[in-house]
Amino acid sequence: MTLTDSHGVLSASTVGNGDTVIASGTTLTITGSLSDVNSDLATLTDTNGTAGSDPITLTATDSLGVSAAPQTVAVTVHDVPVLTVPEGTQTIGVSEAAKISGINLSETGDTGGETFTVTLTDSHACCRRARSATATR
């Protein structure tokens, strides 16, 4: 069985006896008994550095040379989160609480079910939390 991914790095573990998993760039080839190949496929991972659509194409041939119809797994890779901050220096008075607006976190794609964490660090002042800095959308 051969799996090909346009952008991602595919990997799988060798689970069975006598099977092989060979990774070369965006291609992963698994060879072994039917049971071993299926066990190896159960460990499949895809690591992508490019956002957007990145389908995985699967082809399989048995030892008699008979090929299965190619199949495709649709994969959509979310973009990385983006922080937006206000331009210029924010000026506040000594020991005064001042609102700093214009800070925003965004990400393209379906973010349902994801949890985002933003960590704020001030090198000279004490940070206080008015609300939780972790939000789920």
For the chain, the structural domain boundaries read 2-77, 79-137
Q: CA-CA-CA-CA torsion for 102, 108, 110, 111, nearest 10 degrees? A: -40
**pLDDT tens per residue, range 81-100:** 889 999 988 888 888 888 88
For residue 37, the surrounding DSSP H or E stretch is helix 34-41
Q: How many helices (H) and strands (E) does the chain have?
A: 1, 13
Q: Quote the pLDDT of residue 18.
A: 78
Count other C-beta atoms under 10 Å from residue 125's C-beta: 10
Q: What percent of the chain has pLDDT over 90?
A: 34
Token pair of 99 as six digits: 């609102």
* pTM for the full predicted model: 0.62
Burial of 12 by CB count in 10 Å (0-12 exposed, 13-18 middle, 19+ buried)? buried
